[in-house]
Amino acid sequence: MVFNSQLPLLRVRNLCKQYGPSCSACARLTGPEQGSNICPECGSVVACFDVSFELLPGEVLGIVGESGSGKSTIIRCLNLDESPTAGEAFLSEVEGGKVNLFALSSQRKRLIQSSLLGVVYQSPHLGLNLNFSAGANVAERLLIQNNTPEYRPIRKRTSLLLNKVQVPVKRMDEPIKIFSGGMQQRIQLAKALAPRPTLLLLDEPTSGLDVSVQARVLDLIASLQRETGVSMLVVSHDLGVIRLLTHRTLVMKMGRVVEQGLTDQILEDPQHPYTQELVASVL
């Protein structure tokens, strides 16, 4: 069986992120049982605490939970945009998964971010430079990766990527801000996929879109995943998105993982009271 030989692509251990001074009581006085993620002693916000998981190559892991449960914080930490308060993350492609990504120099982090990771944020302005053209946004990622950039191959690959995400190539020189929300999300996806990342981080990729556009973007993500076999971490509060895209799911509340399991098990046989409430709330 191939299973045994598969090493995790990503290992996250005890990830914690706190905003504020933080004190020794933060962990004890926050969480789902306490009903808050704000420490009453020091006022720190415990965005996520003691989050651990593994992701195998080709696997899609969902993170579901209410607003403020710490989902996006995990994405920002793993995209190396933010430094966590504590915890470790290992990527198998970085020194065989033996070094903690968070402890690397900012230069190495930037290199990893531009070559191994891809991210799609809920809001296009976080992932795209709105003053650049669609093509320039995608090409920027290719330029960072390329030591001796040449115009033609980069433009060709940019066209290919835009074509793949169903954005008309003839519009590649138009500024991002005149594209529709759905197209902006697809351009973000093209940008994220440009360096052929091993890990794609999707933070509520379809939340602001109307249902028909949402369906097109989700179908595109699902087909690209099948085609390329890229591992994905999908953050969403929408259980439909989680059902469609993911194999396994973490359920978060007040910065803690309250349950994790196979996606169909989470949806059909939820164990934790919060997960049961979440599943029962689906329209």
Partner 1 sequence: MKEETKRLHNNCLLSVENLEKTFCLHLLKRIKVEAVQSLSFQLRQGEFGVIVGPNGAGKSTVLKCIYRTYLPTGGAIKYRCADNTIVDLATCSEQMVLEIRKTEIAHVTQFFRCAPRVPTEEVVAYPRMAQGISQKEAVEEARELLKRFAIPEKLWRTYPATFSGGEQQKINLARAIIQKPRLLLLDEPTASLDARAVERFLAVLESIRKKGTTCLGIFHDLEMIYPFTTQLIDVQGAKR
- Residues making contact with partner 1 (CB under 8 A): 1-4, 56, 59, 215, 219, 222, 226, 244, 247-248, 260-262, 264-265, 268-269, 271-273, 276-277, 280
DSSP 3-state of 18: strand
Distance between CA atoms of residues 238 and 278, nearest Å: 10
Minimum distance, C-beta of residue 192 to partner 1, in the bound complex (Å)? 22
Structure tokens at 107: 């230069």
Q: Judged by CB, which is closer to partner 1: 80, or 245?
A: 245
Minimum distance, C-beta of residue 274 to partner 1, in the bound complex (Å)? 9
Task: Return the amino acid letter for 32.
Answer: P
Minimum distance, C-beta of residue 199 to partner 1, in the bound complex (Å)? 17
Minimum distance, C-beta of residue 30 to partner 1, in the bound complex (Å)? 21
Q: Judged by CB, which is closer to partner 1: 48, or 278?
A: 278
Q: Judged by CB, which is closer to partner 1: 105, or 212?
A: 212
Distance between CA atoms of residues 46 and 172, nearest Å: 42
85 close to 162: Cβ distance less than 8 angstroms: no
DSSP 3-state of 231: strand
Q: Judged by CB, which is closer to partner 1: 162, or 245?
A: 245
Minimum distance, C-beta of residue 277 to partner 1, in the bound complex (Å)? 6
Start-to-end CA distance of the chain, whole Å, equals 41
Q: Judged by CB, which is closer to partner 1: 191, or 253?
A: 253
SS (H, E, C) 32-73: CCCCECECCCCCCEEEEEEEEEEECCCCEEEEEECCCCCHHH
